[in-house]
Amino acid sequence: TKTDWTRIAQELSPVAIIDEPVLVKKRSRDFFWYSPILNAQLKGCFGDLVAQPETRAELAHCLSVAHAHDLPVVLRGGGTGNYGQAVPLHGGLIVETTGMNRILEIGEGFVRVEAGALMADINAALKPHGWEMAMFPSTQDIATIGGFVAGGSAGIGSIANGALREKGNIISLKALSVEAEPQEHVFDAEQALQLHHAWGLNGAITEVTLRTVPTRDWIGCMATFDSYRDCYAAGYALATSETIGRKLCSAVEARIVSYFPRLEGHLPAGRHLLVSLVPREDMDAYRALMEAQGGTVDLALSEEERKARGIPHVFEFAYNHTTLQVLKADRSATYQQYGVSDPADVDAVARLGAEVGDDVWQHHEFARLDGKIVAFDLPIIWFTDEARLREIDDTYRAHGFSVADAHTYHVEGGGLKNADYRHLAWKKRMDPKGLLNPGKSRAWEAVRHLSAPEIEAMAKD
């Protein structure tokens, strides 16, 4: 039977709704269009109605209405994910969380917030107390903390503080189940990992408690190099430095830098770029290191100086913002995510760069995973077709690099939730009818008829 959306809208009252088709369509999209493959698959997928709860009770009401009518439900924060995480594959209700945005508690080394709080607002609230988020994505102005925990993985700060999934970064979560009477469950640090990067499949996160770190006077630095090999090597040296603080360390090929018009006149043309955030007190050591690595420090600006000169944040040239700068000029660009097998092996990175082809431009991010410095390549790829993309993947693999595919809308595709049934056991408990973000998990379809303990048992095999 066809859903009567006018009636659903009435039942959702007093929760605010959006039913204007143009606006519903807008809220059915995220940044999946980075991928021409996802774009072809997802551009025609839209939800039917948007609900905008402002409290936990209103969110619970939305979920109980969805449960009563078997409506697909997709949670949505800022809609900035890159894998179509927030795109409704089977229509239904979009629940936008940005009205649930209170900052509840700031303490020694932690912050407790509602899931719809924007990360820029969390950072702004923390700063006067001497704290900042341990990591955040460059989309912090429009992205929510709930969306980061449910859809993201790492970001600015990860070079110092690890990935989100590492012990201590997510302290606890609260989430509502999708039942006739939604229940709020509290997840400790260990259990929270079953909701982290599960794309809103395993419950509606209401509240997040996160680790914070002491804030510092960060200087946005740009150093340039003659060769990409030297640039990457300087990045690795900074990433592994035991004396210089840093919360960002990103190496970008000169061909990509030529797509950054807002840096024109601020950097010498044709050079490879190392983007970093370094605390003021370590600037002398940073300058000495860059010089020793054959680079020149062309920009080093405090936040106030940056604003006065009208230059974007350095992190707008790092992580997935790098790709966005190129996409702004040319929509035939895309990207991919590769793990560098041995980040210290500068020559291996240079060899791969020389071999892979002119349609692949390298860009490396350094991060710390489980205490070890790792590097991953987020290259710009000039897209011709999927066959060529897979050939590029194969070249990386042949060099011993791993692939975390950015061109799939299945939660198992990107690498974090591979063959792990524990999170699906939580899905069974939190969303027994399978209404949350349907179609995004391949593994779910095979186990949805089982009980939570049966699904959990599969994880142990």
Q: Does 335 bind ligand FAD (CB under 6 A)?
A: no
Buried residues in 301-314 as b, exposed as e (16+ CB within 10 A): beeeebeeeebebb
**In contact, 403 and 393? CB cutoff 8 Å:** yes
Q: Of the candidates 95, 69, 74, 75, which has an alpha carbon nearest to the alpha carbon of residue 2?
A: 69
| Shortest reach from residue 227's CB to ligand FAD, in Å | 26
Q: Which residues pair with 144 in a beta bridge?
A: 118
Q: Does 46 bind ligand FAD (CB under 6 A)?
A: no
Tokens standing for 412?
Answer: 């198992």
- CA distance between the termini of the chain: 41
| Shortest reach from residue 202's CB to ligand FAD, in Å | 8
| Shortest reach from residue 291's CB to ligand FAD, in Å | 29
Residue 411 sits at the vertex; the CA angle it makes with 406 and 413, to the nearest 5 degrees, is: 45
Residues 6+ apart with CB under 8 A from 265: none
Q: Alpha-carbon distance 159 to 153, whole Å?
A: 13
Q: How many other CB atoms sit within 10 Å of the CB of residue 72?
A: 21
Site string for ligand FAD, 429-448 (x = CB under 6 A): --------x-----------
Q: Does 324 bind ligand FAD (CB under 6 A)?
A: yes
Q: How many CA atoms lie within 13 Å of 343's alpha carbon, on the beta-carbon side?
A: 24
Q: Alpha-carbon distance 11 to 39, whole Å?
A: 34
Q: Alpha-carbon distance 65 to 71, whole Å?
A: 8
Indicate which single residue of 72, 151, 220, 413 sits in contact with ligand FAD (rule: CB under 6 A).
151
Tokens standing for 242?
Answer: 């035991």
Q: Does 86 bind ligand FAD (CB under 6 A)?
A: yes
Q: How many CA atoms lie within 13 Å of 184's alpha carbon, on the beta-carbon side?
A: 15
Q: Which of 343, 414 has the CB closer to ligand FAD?
A: 414
Q: Which of 80, 293 has the CB closer to ligand FAD?
A: 80
Indicate which single residue of 47, 88, 152, 162 sits in contact with ligand FAD (rule: CB under 6 A).
152
Q: Does 82 bind ligand FAD (CB under 6 A)?
A: yes
Q: Which of 272, 313 has the CB closer to ligand FAD?
A: 313
Q: Which of 89, 348 has the CB closer to ligand FAD?
A: 89
| Shortest reach from residue 308's CB to ligand FAD, in Å | 24
Q: Which residues ranging from 202 to 231 are in contact with ligand FAD (CB under 6 A)?
A: 204-205
Q: Does 147 bind ligand FAD (CB under 6 A)?
A: yes
| Shortest reach from residue 296's CB to ligand FAD, in Å | 27
**In contact, 75 and 178? CB cutoff 8 Å:** no
Q: Does 138 bind ligand FAD (CB under 6 A)?
A: yes
| Shortest reach from residue 66's CB to ligand FAD, in Å | 14
Q: Does 343 bind ligand FAD (CB under 6 A)?
A: no
Indicate which single residue of 146, 379, 434, 438 sits in contact with ligand FAD (rule: CB under 6 A).
146
Stretch that binds ligand FAD, among 16-24, 197-205, 228-236, 350-358 (CB under 6 A): 197-205
Q: Does 35 bind ligand FAD (CB under 6 A)?
A: no
The β-bridge relationship of strands 49-52 and 93-96 is: parallel
Residue with token string 């000029």: 329
Indicate which single residue of 36, 47, 81, 91 sits in contact with ligand FAD (rule: CB under 6 A).
81
Task: Please spell the DSSP secondary structure of 213-244, one letter per residue.
Answer: EE---EEEEEEEESSHHHHHHHHHHHHH-SSS
Task: Please spell the DSSP secondary structure of 36-62, one letter per residue.
Answer: HHHHHHHTT---SEEEE--SHHHHHHH
Taken in order 101, 102, 105, 106, is the CA torsion positive or negative? Answer: positive
Q: Does 139 bind ligand FAD (CB under 6 A)?
A: yes
Is the backbone peptide bond immediately before 14 cis, with ω within 30 degrees of 0? yes
Tell me the three state secondary structure of residue 73: strand
Site string for ligand FAD, 269-308 (x = CB under 6 A): ----------------------------------------
The β-bridge relationship of strands 93-96 and 73-76 is: parallel
Q: Does 137 bind ligand FAD (CB under 6 A)?
A: yes
Indicate which single residue of 35, 52, 144, 250 sits in contact with ligand FAD (rule: CB under 6 A).
144
Q: Does 78 bind ligand FAD (CB under 6 A)?
A: yes
Indicate which single residue of 79, 91, 235, 353 sits in contact with ligand FAD (rule: CB under 6 A).
79
Stretch that binds ligand FAD, among 150-158, 340-348, 399-407, 450-458 (CB under 6 A): 150-158
Site string for ligand FAD, 156-195 (x = CB under 6 A): ----------------------------------------
Q: Alpha-carbon distance 120 to 141, whole Å?
A: 5
In the complex, the residues that contact ligand FAD under the rule CB under 6 A are 30-31, 74-82, 85-86, 97, 115, 137-139, 143-144, 146-148, 150-155, 199-200, 204-205, 319-321, 324, 437
